Amino acid sequence: MSKPQIERYFGPDCLIPALKAVGQSRQVVARNGLGPHFESYYEIHLIMDGTVNWWVEDESYILPPGTVYITKPGELHGGYKNLVQPCSLTWLQVDGEALADASMAAELQALDLRRWVGAQELIGYIQAILDECRRPRPDSSRLVSAYLHLFLSHLLRQTARTEETHAYPPRFEQLLHYIDSCLTDASSVTVKDLCEFANLSRSRIFQLFNQYVGQSPISYIMSSRIDLAKIKLQQSELSITEVALEMGFSSSQHFATVFKRITGSTPTEYRLQTTDIRHQTTDIRHQTTEGRH
């Protein structure tokens, strides 16, 4: 990234009713100002460069380059500690009720995914929209409508493709359930255990994990243990050491080292982060409720 820049268009400058905002920015240093807020529209970000740490409702997300990230109307969201980390991103806001294609609006509303990899496939459509917004011509609204339709069509195709990858064959599904049942064991499940459980060779086990989850079996097991540890840190009053021992780690130091390698934060930092997010969410909802009365 070189110089900072920001370009954005709102309302009538977006040329069609379904598009409420569109923009792009390059942030070379962390910027304050992304506090708790919610929109009346779908907000879709494409993270092109850098990594950001944002949250939606009670969930925190670390978003690397290439991520597509979406929030729905009315969902409270913001940046951790109100920050936008150094990054390059492109974004837009879409009014689902103003879309001409009712089935597309229904699919957006039904989306369960929050993030996935696929920004590079979509960026061209937003750049084309930005080109029309910069220099509007008589046919620009027609083109913006077409580009937005193509953008959303390909976005929804990406989500369908991503969801399909989670439909595992029965034997692999059994392996994943077996791993889940062993996550809190003092001695973590090994590749040898997986081979014996599934009656498969070591090479076949590695092949299956690479094919279906894009990770080695050991990497998947460790990531799953950390995911469960994150839930315990969020939802319990257990100390860091108690969580470490419950998750089968030999010490809190080993737990903290693995946790930071996978999440980018120490267990203590993660717990403080999620606590801050819960407090921000509670405060803003309280303020919103008071404002309605």
- 135 and 219 housed in the same domain: no
Q: Is 175 exposed, middle or buried (0-12, 13-18, 19+ CB in 10 A)?
A: buried
Average pLDDT rounded to a whole number, residues 57-79: 86
In a domain, 33, yes or no: yes
User: How many domains, the chain?
Assistant: 2
**Most confident among 93-97, 212-216, 255-259 (mean pLDDT):** 93-97
Q: Which two tokens stand for residue 169?
A: 């064959």
Query: Does pLDDT of 21 surpass 70?
Result: yes
For residue 95, give its domain range: 5-164
Is the pLDDT at 27 greater than 50? The verdict is yes
Kindly state whether residue 209 falls inside one of the protein's structural domains.
yes
- Comparing 29 with 194, the larger pLDDT belongs to 194
Say whether both 183 and 114 belong to one domain: no
Q: What's the CATH code of the domain at 208?
A: 1.10.10.60
Long-range contacts (CB closer than 8 Å, 24 or more residues apart) made by 97-102: 98/17, 98/18, 99/18, 99/152, 100/18, 100/145, 101/149
Q: With a cut of 80, say whether residue 55 has pLDDT above it.
A: yes
| SS3 at position 84 | strand
Between 30 and 276, the higher pLDDT residue: 30
Helix (H) or strand (E) holding 52, with range, is strand 52-56
Which amino acid is located at 96 in the chain? Answer: G
Mean pLDDT, residues 210-239: 84
* 109 in a structural domain: yes
187 assigned to some structural domain: yes
Whether the per-residue pLDDT at 287 is higher than 70: the answer is no
| Domain edge (last residue) among 133, 164, 195 | 164
Q: What is the pLDDT of residues 28-48, one digit of tens each?
A: 887 777 778 888 999 999 999
| Per-residue model confidence (pLDDT) at position 164 | 58
Is residue 91 predicted with pLDDT exceeding 90?
yes
pLDDT (tens digit, 9 = 90+) per residue, 120-171?
999 999 999 999 999 999 999 999 999 999 999 999 999 887 765 555 788 8
DSSP string over 86-108: SEEEEEEEE-GGG-S-HHHHHHH
